[in-house]
Amino acid sequence: MSSYKSMPLDGNGFPMDAGSYWGNSVEKIITFAGGTTNAIGDYDGTGDPFSIFTVTGDVLVKIYGVCTTDLVGGATIEVGIAGNTAALLPQVADATGIDAGEIWHMTDGTVDSGVEAASVLIEKMVVNGADIIGSIGTANITAGVIKFVCVWYPLSEGASVEAA
């Protein structure tokens, strides 16, 4: 006996077909305040790593960050999952190089100004409900804001991505 599985739904509740399956997205704004003990950006405090997205089940993701306020502090920064902290957004060696209006994307550790080819949004699979985190190293990020965007598609029944 076979079981019927419904098609995944987009953010508006409509079925997603193979041609339009990137219909779900979620955003999380992270404000760095690493000069405060245990805040996000304090590389040796309890706010590192910091939670960005909560994942349920298995999903395909495309992630990017848009800086809205210049980052301050010569720290490294990366986005991934526990055990592979640069798997989704590669490490940027000096966070002061991330300025307002720049895009941090999946293909390299270089941020780009204003406009970027959609080809930098590589599909990656996140399985077993591995939450998406950011990690800071070597120094604090004492100020700045990044809006992280995750465009996602469910691979398992009940899968989802939500802002943490």
Residue 16 pLDDT > 80: no
pLDDT tens digits, residue range 60-70? 999 999 999 99
Q: Quick one: pLDDT band at residue 161, thresholds 50, 70, 90?
A: very high
pLDDT tens digits, residue range 113-144? 877 888 888 899 999 999 999 999 999 999 99
| pTM of the full structure | 0.87
Give 52's contacts (C-beta < 8 A, 6+ positions apart): 28, 30, 79, 132, 133, 134, 148, 150, 163, 164
Break the chain into its structural domains and give their ranges: 25-156
Question: Which region, left, alpha or beta, applies to residue 35 given φ > 0 means left and ψ of -120 to 50 means alpha?
Answer: alpha
